[in-house]
Structure 1
Amino acid sequence: MLIDTTTQTLEIKLAGAVNSNEIPIVLAYIDGEAANFFPTLQHSISNGASDVTVLDAPEPRGKRMVKFMYIRNVDDAAVVVTIQLADSATNREIYKVTLAVDDTLVYTDTTGFKVIATDGTTKVTV
């Protein structure tokens, strides 16, 4: 996943309010242009059905590439997670999935999206 303009951000939202615990998000990305890329980490937490920015817009003429994203359902009920590209006032859905309790949605730039169960098995691969 790549964002390359100052009007673009990466967001998550849930289909509704959580039962008990908001969902943590950890995202690693590289920032920069050409040969000057810098690894960076960004932490976020869900806010019910509100859009939450998990990757800020790059600096002018910069680019941000997601290398890894980790979203674990720490709530005591299933949650529906949507990952979207926000470009000014337009949102484009990238991926939507239901996570059971303790499921983890993992994204890497080499393998794409996977849902991992608590026992370590892969439930869904995209």
Structure 2
Amino acid sequence: VLRREWLGDRVHVSAIGAFYPDWRELDTATVMEAKVVVDSREAIMEEAGDILIPISEGAITEDHIYAELGELVLEKKEGRTPEDGLTVFKSVGLAIQDSSVANLVMKKWRES
């Protein structure tokens, strides 16, 4: 488990390894202090122990999630700013991500 005290003040962490409700790769302090972006709020609230465990401890609420990745891409929410300290991207993976990668691989294969 990655602990907050091991990280600097202006660090970004992409957390993609823990995808079960009782698994975690980030301690509660890291999640509490971070500006958190997720791939899908719905999926995160079902699968991501990194978020669910701090919620169950009463350390954060679902509202602690700043944005979904799509909101940043569509510029509905601002991405990282100079004022931001610790940021976390928490991903549990979505089928659309797998499909997009597969399409890109096929395209590159056809071009070669």
Q: Which has the higher strand share?
A: 1
What is the TM-score normalised by the length of structure 1?
Answer: 0.29
Tell which has more relative contact order, 1 or 2 (C-alpha 8 A, sep 6+).
2
Q: Which has the higher helix share?
A: 2
What is the TM-score normalised by the length of structure 2?
Answer: 0.31
